[in-house]
Structure 1
Amino acid sequence: MKKWNIGWGTVANCNMQCQFCYSKERRKTEESLRLSDWIKFVDENNQRINTINYGTGENSLSDKWFELINYVRVNYPMIRQALTTNGYLSERIKNKELYRIVTNSIDEVDVSLDFSTPEEHNTFRGTNGAFEWAINTLSYCKKENKDATIVFLGSEVNLIKENIKGLFEIAERYNAKLRMNLYRPTEGINTLSKRFIPSYERILDILQYISKNYEILSLNDSLFSAILTTQSFIDPSGIDSLRILANGDITPSTYLIQDEYVIGNIREDPSLKNIENNIKNIICNILPDECGNCILKDRCKGGVIDRRYLWYNNLERKDPYCQGPYYDRSLLPQQLVLSHKKFRSVHDGYLPTMFFINKN
């Protein structure tokens, strides 16, 4: 039986005003489902669910979410549960019962922190308490010995060496890993999104800096892993992972959230076994013609699926970050060394992302 790694935004609400938010416009028009809808979905599919990461919106704003994670842990303890939070979790768990539920139910926590200074992060997130909440949540994770990861946006604005250095210092203080999500223009390439789209050169510069000064645990990105390492990464979008939006819509990717990518709805049909044929209409193995003679084509496979859709609205063109095709290894950029350290994260193999850690 196929097992899925699910990203689930149970609520449309968020208490921050991030200009770069990839789901802001979508969430404005959504209404969250009832707790009974969530429970019905889990009951129906518990044997088909490997992990759940609750992200998109701020799930900790909802009392129903705490009931859900408690229900899943009590009834289906084999499902690994994780939360991606902007840090507001630390405010909610001041309540002793909510503290107990989170401690017993959530296996790992990703904390969004894009800048290493309070002023910059608060401004970036449009919320005065954003930095403090993030730090307080990391402190909670350290106290309770929970797997913690600082997740930061990889954008043209914050991929600055001094900022990255500061984030690694915070991670060391709280025994956390780091994870970078490259910015995606989910609402189109326009004046606003161009501010945040990182250049190929900036991405490479930061990855080389991290490789030299820290450790790269994994590059879960089919393009960058192919051009920068000898390892391959298969894009899991729609293969092993799914995204569930607040209104119950199912999409094959965290970043493909517009109506044309919806492949089902858990309220209309809660069974995951019925969606695999729908996925094939969106996620398919199309190798662009321009990749035909590239030496990396069997590893890269044209690049990351969501980026190709978001930039070009199809899979006929290669990843927008590809500088190839490459006909000889001498044309590739300087290779990176990956760490041999073992680690566990629901995001490892769940979406195109990158993991780092401080050197011991």
Structure 2
Amino acid sequence: MAPHPPQSRPSTGPDPAAIDTSRRPFVLIWEVTQACELACDHCRADAQPARHPDELTTSEGKRLLDQTREFGPGQLVVLSGGDPLARPDLVELIEYGTSRGLRMTLTPSGTSSLTPETVHRLSDAGVTRLAVSLDGATPSTHDTFRGENGSFEETVRAARAARDAGLPIQINTTVCAQTVDELPALRDLVDELDAVLWSVFFLVPVGRGRILESISPDRAESVMEWLSDVSKDAPFGVKTTEAPFYRRVAIQHRRDASGSPSSDGIGRRLGITAGDGFAFVSHTGELYPSGFLPKSAGSVRDGGLVERYRESELFQSLRDRDALRGKCGVCEYRHVCGGSRSRAYAHTDDPLASDPLCAYVPEGYDGKMPSDQASGD
């Protein structure tokens, strides 16, 4: 069979600063499968070796991409998993989304399937960015965390193949007690791999991640300050995932937390949290505010993606920063931060509660602390 010709990628998306997050997400993640060869300690999806029999089919996936296009041209879509490469129709879905004017990006797992040839096929299909995960700066530390020998080398090889193909690379790193000391060496590796963005994810205890130990709020604050310093001189952008108080730290350090290099192709913006500029569709079609906040606004198998994002009570409540409770609710930074709604939900079953990882206490606040809420005191 002749190879597919390279797809015409959408040249640009909407201005991130101009996106009304009550009307459309900055990013929509579709978990195309939960199947994966790896058994990572932190896996949100609690991934399994085999594909789930009730995954969205190819035709259902294309209908989902059609619905996503209704948000407007240039909508950013991340195909996630599990390992998206476990789906044999992945290239077909990427090509279809690209043909519909969507900006298609991908977060594959670092397995033997992620060969340089595969990377080039994904680029030809229209992928605009490849995001790979490095949670340790050496084969020993990364492979232990990922539960698979060879994952580090395969991930680095894929990142270099993407660079050779002219495909922008994003590096994702999980921060927990097991990985936090690796961050300085990882910063150097992100630079060496010519990544355009380092996305630093602060652990939320869901899926297999429940067995891992989070860092303390004080340690998280010091990591944020360090990341803010890194962002001053790094040739790549720095963002945090499920730690929006990085924006507060950056503002306090007189830094702009929304910047990233022009070659990024996606851009950044402030104020994105679960349900507010962010949406997640599960492998079976459930719409969640985030993959780390598994509270459903309903199934999109038969339509309704746009309406549910805009009009569901769950999503509307998450966009109302004045409805937040505890110290998040009175914090002067709540409109640029808002706290991790996913972590609040994981600890308290209340997505509007305070983020227990944030050490900042607003001046004059004397109410319950997140540790009190989490413990039920």
TM-score scaled by structure 1?
A: 0.77
Residue 311 of structure 1 aligns to a residue in which SS?
A: helix
Query: Higher mean Cα deviation, 47-56 or 284-293?
Result: 284-293
Aligned to 1:350: none
Residue 95 of structure 2 aligns to a residue in which SS?
A: helix
Residue 107 of structure 2 aligns to a residue in which SS?
A: strand
Distance 1:266 1:150 in 2: 30
Aligned to 1:9: 31
Once the two structures are superposed, residues 174-197 of structure 1 have per-residue CA deviations (whole angstroms, 9 ceiling, x without a partner) of 211321010100149xxx736331
Aligned to 1:149: 170
Distance 2:327 2:230 in 1: 36
Distance 1:297 1:101 in 2: 39
Aligned to 1:239: 276
Distance 1:43 1:94 in 2: 29
How big is the shift at 1:86?
Answer: 2.1
Distance 2:71 2:49 in 1: 27
Matches within 5 A, 1:19-98: 19-24=41-46, 30=52, 31-48=54-71, 50-73=75-98, 75-76=99-100, 78-88=101-111, 91-92=114-115, 94=117
Distance 1:27 1:90 in 2: 14
Contact persistence 1:241–1:252 (CA under 8 A)? yes
Are 1:139 and 2:139 matched, yes or no? no
Q: Which runs of 5+ in 1 are unaligned?
A: 329-360
How big is the shift at 1:243?
Answer: 0.4
Distance 2:151 2:66 in 1: 35
How big is the shift at 1:104?
Answer: 3.8
Are 1:166 and 2:185 matched, yes or no? yes
How big is the shift at 1:212?
Answer: 4.2
The one-letter amino acid of 2:108's match is T
User: Greater relative contact order: 1 or 2 (C-alpha under 8 angstroms, separation 6 or more)?
Assistant: 1
Aligned to 1:249: 286
Root mean square deviation of aligned Cα: 3.0
Are 1:317 and 2:353 matched, yes or no? yes
Distance 1:275 1:326 in 2: 31
The one-letter amino acid of 1:170's match is L
Residue 69 of structure 1 aligns to a residue in which SS?
A: helix
How big is the shift at 1:126?
Answer: 0.9
How big is the shift at 1:132?
Answer: 1.3
TM-score scaled by structure 2?
A: 0.74
Contact persistence 1:219–1:225 (CA under 8 A)? no
Once the two structures are superposed, residues 255-308 of structure 1 have per-residue CA deviations (whole angstroms, 9 ceiling, x without a partner) of 112xxx11122223354234532234752522325456654455444x221121
Distance 1:135 1:25 in 2: 22
Mark the CA change 1:103 to 1:171 in structure 2 (over 3 Å): closer, same or farther.
farther
Identity of aligned residues (%): 18
Distance 1:227 1:173 in 2: 26
For these two proteins, the number of residue pairs brought into alignment is 315
The one-letter amino acid of 2:345's match is Y
Residue 229 of structure 1 aligns to a residue in which SS?
A: helix
Mark the CA change 1:54 to 1:288 in structure 2 (over 3 Å): closer, same or farther.
same
Query: Higher mean Cα deviation, 141-150 or 84-93?
Result: 84-93
Matches within 5 A, 1:206-225: 206-212=223-229, 215=232, 217=237, 219=239, 221-225=243-247
Mark the CA change 1:323 to 1:241 in structure 2 (over 3 Å): closer, same or farther.
closer
Residue 265 of structure 1 aligns to a residue in which SS?
A: coil
The one-letter amino acid of 2:184's match is K
Contact persistence 2:37–2:49 (CA under 8 A)? no
Residue 69 of structure 2 aligns to a residue in which SS?
A: helix
Aligned to 1:184: 204
